[in-house]
Structure 1
Amino acid sequence: MTTYRILIVEDEPLIAFDLAQSLADAGFHVVGIARDKEGAVAKAAQGGIDLATMDVNLANRDSGIDTAIALRTGFGIPSLFVTSASQAVLSQIGHADPVGIIEKPAHPQDVIAAILRYFAVLGSPY
């Protein structure tokens, strides 16, 4: 199995760590956790990221939508949104061209399944 490299962009530490552990247990390589846009862009600049999981409301009042756009346009990194955002905000996510949206509370297996579906459709990035 190809080891996909995942960046978690989530400002709630317990959610981020739980997801990171679940992804690692499923065989993914978690390259890091970012709490805000600045952290996500810094991680992306280091390279080696295949996909980001993205919350909509991040630390420092950052927008996950803006962060996802920055990752895609600046680094070619797609985002899978995992969020409890309102329907009004969810309607704005399309601007970020996400690979999918999972509403919180999300079971880690749902996130894993969505990531695997994305790479199955896309094919391996390697």
Structure 2
Amino acid sequence: MAEGAARPGPERRPQPGEIWWADVPFEDGPGSKDRPCLVLAVHGGAARVAKITSRYHDERPGVIPLPPGTVGDTHGRPSFLETDELREVRVRDFRRRVGVVDPLLWDQLRHL
């Protein structure tokens, strides 16, 4: 995509409790990565998300294991939700919805 070109954005707006692939900003500098994330809240043109990773980081607080296949990958790898550092993602940077988080887990996370 050309520099400064508008991204098409998702076909529908992400909703709290949904898992999406999106262009999530890095925590410690410029740039971003296409990765799965859990939508916590949507406000205006942005959403607050918790990123999902395939690597377990036991040194980080707030890491929650998710069932294999949660992020819609074809390999069914285990995934881990990182709740210690939340991100703001522009709605237009959401790419693909893959599902919703388990309702019992959502009850624990909805107030992050």
Please, what TM-score do these two structures have when normalized by structure 2?
0.32
Q: Which has the higher strand share?
A: 2
Q: Which has the higher contact order (CA 8 A, sep 6+)?
A: 2
Please, what TM-score do these two structures have when normalized by structure 1?
0.29
